[in-house]
Amino acid sequence: MATFGVAVIGAGRIGALHLRNLCAIPGVRVVVVADAEREAAERGKALANAERATDDVEDAICHPAVDAVVIATPTPTHARLITLAAEAGKAIWCEKPVALDLGEAERAAAVVESKRLPAQVGFMRRFDPGYAAAKDKIASGALGRVEAFRALSRDTYPPPPSFIAHSGGIFLDMAIHDFDLARYLVGEVAEVYAWGAVLIDERFAQAGDADTACALLRFESGALGVVETARRSAWGYDIRTEVAGAQGKLVIEADQKTPLRFSRRFGFEGDHYESFADRFEAAYRLQFEAFFEALRRGYSPSPGLRDAIETLRLAVAATRSWREGRPVAVREVKSNA
């Protein structure tokens, strides 16, 4: 079995999660960990038993033992790092969203495509056994014509204020996962209408962002959808998705974390997941297994950059709808927007 050498760029919270998962994949070796903060790079190196830690990302990407670059840095750096990795001829795995700006995303994708390099984006929910099984069920025709999509996402903890400013806003940073599921499970969206509100923390308002949002989707097929999202959940990580059709309905919902129920005076209790890390523990691992399996077999990994761009377009359209108070056709959102 060929072994792939990997450079991991970005060793913060999500980078550390990726490092642990990469270590456990047979045939994958983390060669170098890079982070603008040298200490974070060193911690990442120790986590992954890597050869090198560095704060020089170019150096890490170009390391001759590196076959694939895993990008887990803040979003504004994604497009540049994808471009660097593509120019170095490396396979690319990048966290979502691929950029905050469509044009930037398009230009990075163009470089990757011109070099015919494999690239995958971190929409990990697609690899959750529930969502993957839903995709198969829909493809089997079990639902008949799809008529409705329904998604709700609540993060347990709001992000820190420093993150809010550069996040791209609730639709690009958070609802983007639900928009990706909408496209993955139902198909392309023609039109979106969105509302935002600040109900959780005034700092979102100060950043011109919302902490609670909802949107209506009209798919090209004519199906309707609703997406709800919020930046805080007192009861834990709350991610539920439904697809309904003429003949049946799918509900993807992992409500209980521990297989234990406690009954006491006339009632019972169970627990919820605390975070994306425990809810999507398997998906975070499986997305990398799929990526390296694609490299090994020589086919294009998925979801790729074009998927990321279309999902981003939808998120930009939702943001525009919210800001302008009108329904927005997704196609009206161009790369130079």
Closest separation between CB of residue 253 and a copy of itself, Å?
Answer: 6
Rounded to whole angstroms, how far apart are CA atoms 2 and 182? 36
Shortest reach from residue 334's CB to a copy of itself, in Å: 23
For residues 268 and 297, which CB has a smaller minimum distance to a copy of itself in the complex?
A: 268
Residue 289 token pair: 């297994």
Comparing CB distances to a copy of itself, the nearer of 162 and 268 is: 268
Residue (of 170, 192, 184, 77) closest to 123 by Cα position: 184
Contacts of 265 (CB under 8 A, 6+ apart): none
- Give me the sign of the Cα torsion angle 151, 157, 163, 164: positive
For helices 129-139 and 281-297, what crossing angle results, to 10°? 60
Instruction: Characterise 212 by phi-psi region: left (phi > 0), alpha (psi -120 to 50), beta (else).
Output: beta
Q: Are 25 and 292 in contact (CB under 8 A)?
A: yes
Task: For the CB of residue 312, give the shortest distance to a copy of itself in the complex, in Å.
Answer: 23
Query: Distance between CA 43 and CA 179 in Å, rounded?
Result: 34
Provide, rounded to whole angstroms, the least separation between the CB of residue 251 and a copy of itself: 5
Task: Burial-class residue 98 by CB neighbours within 10 Å (0-12, 13-18, 19+).
Answer: buried
* Smallest gap from residue 333 Cβ to a copy of itself (A): 19
Q: Is the CB of 102 or the CB of 230 nearer to a copy of itself?
A: 230
Q: Which is nearer to a copy of itself, 214 or 333 (CB)?
A: 214
Query: 290-325: buried (b, 16+ CB within 10 Å) or exposed (e) per residue?
Result: bbbebbeeeeebbbbbbbbbbbbbbbbbbbbbbeee
> From the CB of 53, what's the least distance to a copy of itself, in Å?
16
Q: Which is nearer to a copy of itself, 115 or 195 (CB)?
A: 195
Quote the DSSP letter at residue 92.
E
- Nearer to a copy of itself by Cβ, of 257 and 306: the residue is 257
Specify which residues 197 forms β-bridges with.
212
- Report, in Å, the least distance between residue 137 CB and a copy of itself: 6
> Which residue's CB is nearer to a copy of itself, number 64 or number 266?
266
Q: How far is the CB of 56 from a copy of itself (least distance, A)?
A: 26
CB atoms within 10 A of CB 74: 14
User: Measured from the CB atom, is 118 or 245 closer to a copy of itself?
Assistant: 245
Least distance CB 258 / a copy of itself (angstroms)? 5
Owner of token pair 């998705």: 241
Cβ proximity to a copy of itself: between 17 and 94 the closer is: 17
Q: Where are the alpha helices (DSSP H) in 90-166?
A: 102-114, 129-139, 161-165
Q: Which helix (H) or strand (E) holds 106?
A: helix 102-114
Residue type, 80: R
